[in-house]
Amino acid sequence: MNLLKRGTNSMDATSRRVLKVMGIFTSVEMAGIVCSMVKMKLVAMWLDATGVGLFNIFNSTIDTTTYLTGLGLRQSAVRDLSGASRKGEGMLRRMVERVRAWSVAAGLLGAVVLAALAWPLAEIIFGDGRMWWNFMVLGGAMLLNALYAGESAIFQATEGFKRLARSGLGMAVAGLVVSVPMFRFMGEASVAWSLLAYSLCGVIFAYINRDRRFAVTLPRRKDLQGEQTFLKFGAFISITAFINSLCQLAFSTWLNREASTAEVGLYSAGYILVMRYTSLVFNSVSLEYYPRVAACGANRNRMEVFMNHEVSLLLLLFTPLMLLFLLFRELIVEILYDADFLVILPFISWGILTVVLRGASNTMAYTIMAKGEGKVYMFTDVVDAVLGLGLSIWLYSELGLTGIGVAMVVWHGVYMLIVEGVCRRRYGLYLRSATLRLLTASFLTAGIALVLVLMTPALIHVPVLAIAACVYIWYFARFLGRHGRRRIIS
């Protein structure tokens, strides 16, 4: 009981801290989203759906190779860096040097692997080896991305959230400015060079905003030697992320061969709307949540309090946003892309329902990561990736792009049940009754809203969804008040 009381008393500070970090990164991410929207709008105008498809394929290639060779440093190093910071600045400085050295090593490995596979990848993905040079360019982006990932881990572990935010904002704005003339004058050849430009801007701004306590030095052999605990856990994260990305790349490749690159572009446009943009907010929240829940990994009651608090916060935040998205989805597609992309409306109408499921499942997945059990984390995510690939291929074959949206809802629902079962059975962490009621209400609201927008005229569904969104916004404001916080942990 005393632990729960202390948890209750700490919720005020916890909520303020979560909202502060979320506010910083949501503002930055919104600017990043605007830059991304402008970029994709220009690509859709100047390079058509083929250009959007190339972005999807090249990004998937970079992600897959990064997860194969990147050692999971972006996530795993945060745990060791956070532990070192509590042992004094000398220990923290040595850990920073180790993380930077391993970032260089991982980046070089990724660049070499991608360069070596350039011709085979071009043959497999495009059926034409003449596209090989694009993958050579992406190899340079691999090295730069690894350096940026290492610095991002250092920022996060040392609570340098503003430094990390400034770096991300600089990368988004400068990358866009550099890329626009490429899109206009280089055509499809600009896609790979644009990704390299973004990576270079990220490293430059990470260097500008670096913590001056830690001097940037050339990596030394001794920094790569000795036991590095973050590498062990990172190996599981890396394998997991690689399999996830490989499944995404496999689906894009299958779709490219079975349909066309333009169809991949339509799928990519919808995926970005319902997954990438919403993931930015999820990531903003996790930047603060992951280190906090990892710090109390041995205290089951505190972990349960934090987990329920986070799930409720995300549900109340994303449910009204989902309703507003359904109301304005056609306008959003026309603004961000083009009228030719309106064929993705059924796809994104189904796909946006996943934000409710991901609000719960992502929080519980980070709780598993905080426990440091790499095998358990890998099992849950690999099952999720393989299930998603199978459902997407099957339902696309049956229903077209709409089937992909349906598949997303099914597999994210199954994934939520899997991670909830792991948290409950393995760690004794439960979603409490108030949280379960909120989760049920949010999912039912999502389902009813989807039926209304697909089956009824605007005269009916517009006022209903608008009123429902206002109700959830009111509950969100209430949750942020003292009564709402006490209720969630009671």
Query: What tens-digit pLDDT sequence spans the chain (490 residues)?
Result: 444 344 444 555 555 566 566 666 666 767 777 888 788 888 888 888 788 888 878 988 888 787 777 777 777 777 677 666 666 677 778 888 888 888 888 889 989 999 899 999 988 888 878 889 899 999 999 999 989 988 888 887 776 778 888 898 899 899 999 999 999 888 888 999 999 999 999 999 999 988 877 777 767 766 666 556 667 777 787 788 778 878 888 898 899 888 888 888 889 889 988 887 777 777 777 777 777 776 676 678 888 888 998 898 889 888 998 999 999 999 988 887 878 889 999 999 999 999 999 989 988 988 888 777 778 888 898 999 999 999 999 999 999 999 999 999 999 999 999 999 999 999 999 999 989 999 999 999 999 999 999 898 888 988 999 999 999 888 877 776 643 444 433 3
Amino acid at position 187, single letter: G
What is the crossing angle of helices 300-336 and 277-295, to 10°?
170
pTM (2 d.p.): 0.72
3-class DSSP state for residue 311?
Answer: helix
Cα–Cα dist 12/10, whole Å: 6
Cα–Cα dist 242/382, whole Å: 9
Q: How far, in Å, are 48, 280, 359, 398 from residue 286 at the CA level?
A: 35, 10, 11, 36
Are 24 and 161 a contacting pair, CB within 8 Å?
yes
Residue 66, token pair as written in the block: 């990064």
